[in-house]
Amino acid sequence: MSMAESNQYYFIVYSSYFVIAIIFSFLINSLFLRFAKTLGIRGGNEGTVIRWASQSKPAVGGFSFYIIFLLSITAYSVFFNSHQVFLNKQFIGFLLATMLGFLLGLADDAHDTRPFLKVTTQLTCAVLLMVTGTVINISPYLYVNYAFTLIWVVGIMNSLNMLDNMDAIAASVSIIIILAGASVMILKGDLTNISFIIMVGIAGALIGFLYFNWHPSKMFMGDTGSQFLGVFLAFIGIHCFWNSTPPSNEIINIKSLILPLLVFIMPIVDTTVVVINRLSKKQSPFIGGKDHTTHALAFLGMSDSQVAFLFIAISSLSIFFVVIAEKVIVNWNNAYTALFAAYFLVILIIFLHISRLKRTKNG
């Protein structure tokens, strides 16, 4: 098969599967919305404010993500007639880690798991990835790579969970991150990798879910969705961004540090702002509340939909930056580091300032 024929085959396969994933997601969520009105709606401690929405709604969106995730794995073996991936240790670790993330979210939606158990399970997800070969190669020192991997996986799982605090935010940002990862794989011609078809499937699942999650939403993804997505996106971040540049002799490869910060800018900024503000008030960062960057924007007069569009716009810049970094910039130097780092810090400072304005405005 010639390269032109291969590209045509890939286009037909992936575009067809993308449409199928959207349709399946829509149908699955419609089914759950009809028959699971109370699944994911927790009672418990009424004093703990977790969600922005004043009305309880089913938190079942995560089921469609995981179902289409499994469907994508099956589709890969059908479209590419390859079963060798199931003998790949790294893929098995990825499969186990995402399954554990999904089960953690399911338990949390049903029973409000304790923070210690949640963090322990998240660390287990990270360890599963590491022992099977998924490690951030940012340094020639293994202990540095292991430390970064642990912090990254646990951090992204918590960031996605915290970002799921307003209609459409977590789903929209996740789609942009997946598109950025897909762009890197397309630029590198890595279209036969099983990760690519899974990314296509999850992107379709998220789009189908957004129909029900856009404001005013009919359902949430719940921890079932955010914990699964956290593991999945952490893996994509390692595969597409952290390890996109070959390891160097530097203690830390700066380009490999900058790219994931840019792509995951909104989850990281939101979590950082929340942690800083809560610690400054001597509150636990692990207790939910209406003090996220999304909430600050809403308190200042933006509608839920406007907040979602703003997050989409800022996140979309990541695709542009990734293409520039991977396709245009041949020799990375300190000027590029300073430029991209300045952009990240400006966004962080702006949102930190907005959160303080909200606190001042509300006394």
Residue 89 corresponds to which amino acid? K
pTM, 2 dp:
0.91
More confident residue, 53 or 254: 254
Position 75 pLDDT exceeds 90: yes
Chain segment 81-96, per-residue pLDDT in tens = 777 777 889 999 999 9
Average pLDDT over residues 100-111: 92
Domain enclosing residue 262, as ranges:
3-361
Counted domains in the chain: 1
B/e letters for 168-197, b = 16+ CB within 10 Å, e = fewer, are bbbbbbbbbbbbbbbbbbeeeeebebbbbb
Q: Is the predicted pLDDT of residue 6 greater than 90, yes or no?
A: no
* Model confidence at 309: pLDDT above 60: yes
Share of the chain above pLDDT 70, in %: 91
pLDDT at 52: 56
Q: Residue 47: is its pLDDT beyond 50?
A: no
pLDDT surpasses 70 at 352: yes
Across 5-14, 160-169, 250-259, 294-303, least confident range = 250-259
Binned at pLDDT 50, 70 and 90, residue 363 comes out as very low
pLDDT of residue 330: 82
